[in-house]
Structure 1
Amino acid sequence: MRRWRTLLATLAAAATAATMGVLAAPGAAQADANVVGGTRATQGEFPFMVRLSMGCGGALYSPNLVLTAAHCVSGTGTNTSITATLGVVDLNSSSKITRKSNYVYRAPGYNGNGKDWALIRLASPVTGLATLPIASTTAYDSGTFTISGWGAATEGGSQQRYLLKATVPFVSDTTCNSSSMYNGEIIASNEICAGYTAGGVDTCQGDSGGPMFRRDSANAWIQVGIVSWGDGCARPNKPGVYTQVSYFASTIASAAASLGG
Structure 2
Amino acid sequence: MNSLTRPRPALLTGLAVAAVGLTGASTAGAVVGGTPANRADFPYFTIVSGGCGGALITPNRVLTASHCGEGVQANREVRVGPDGIRRKAVLLAQHPVNLRELTRAQRDGVAVADLLLLQLDRAVPGVTPIPIARPADGLTAPGTVATTIGRGATQASGRGGGAFRSGVVRIQDPASCPDEISSRLDRFWSLCTRDPRLPAPSAPPPFVSACIGDSGGPLIVDRGAGPQLVATVSFGAHCGTQNDPEIYANAVNGRTWALSKRPPWTPAGTTRIEGKRRVGSKLKCVVDWLARPDRDVIFLWTGDSKLRQEGKRSFLRVGEKDRGSRLRCSARGGTAGGYGGTPQSKPVRVAR
Match of 1:238 in 2: 244
| Residue 254 (str. 1) matches residue 242 (str. 2) | no
Compared CA separation, residues 66 and 159, structure 1 to 2 (3 A): farther
Compared CA separation, residues 43 and 229, structure 1 to 2 (3 A): closer
Which 5+ residue runs of structure 2 have no aligned equivalent?
1-6, 15-24, 106-110, 266-352
Kept after mapping to 2: 8 A contact 1:31/1:233: no
Distance 2:59 2:132 in 1: 14
Alignment coverage as a number of residue pairs: 225
Secondary structure in structure 2 of the residue aligned to 1:233: coil
1:160 Cα deviation after fit: 2.6
Distance 1:34 1:43 in 2: 13
Match of 2:132 in 1: 134
Distance 2:133 2:41 in 1: 20
Kept after mapping to 1: 8 A contact 2:27/2:67: no
Higher relative contact order (CA 8 A, sep 6+): 1
Match of 1:24 in 2: none
Map of 1:3-82 to 2, 5 A cutoff? 32-74=28-70, 81-82=75-76
Match of 1:163 in 2: 164
Match of 1:98 in 2: 86
Aligned alpha-carbon RMSD (Å): 2.9
TM score, norm. by length of structure 1:
0.76
1:103 Cα deviation after fit: 1.2
Kept after mapping to 2: 8 A contact 1:36/1:152: yes
Distance 2:85 2:251 in 1: 26
Kept after mapping to 2: 8 A contact 1:34/1:204: yes
Distance 2:234 2:147 in 1: 15
The one-letter amino acid of 1:41's match is A
Compared CA separation, residues 254 and 96, structure 1 to 2 (3 A): closer
* Cα deviations by residue, 1:16-69 (Å, 9 ceiling, x for unpaired): xxxxxxxxxxxxx97743210111111410000001121110000111110001
1:155 Cα deviation after fit: 2.2
Compared CA separation, residues 99 and 134, structure 1 to 2 (3 A): same
TM score, norm. by length of structure 2:
0.58
1:243 Cα deviation after fit: 1.0
| Residue 189 (str. 1) matches residue 177 (str. 2) | no
The one-letter amino acid of 1:162's match is A
Distance 2:27 2:89 in 1: 27
Match of 2:96 in 1: 108
| Residue 214 (str. 1) matches residue 221 (str. 2) | yes
Structure whose residues are more often strand by fraction: 2
Compared CA separation, residues 30 and 225, structure 1 to 2 (3 A): closer
Which of 202, 206, 212 matches 1:205? 212
Kept after mapping to 2: 8 A contact 1:195/1:239: yes
Compared CA separation, residues 183 and 49, structure 1 to 2 (3 A): closer
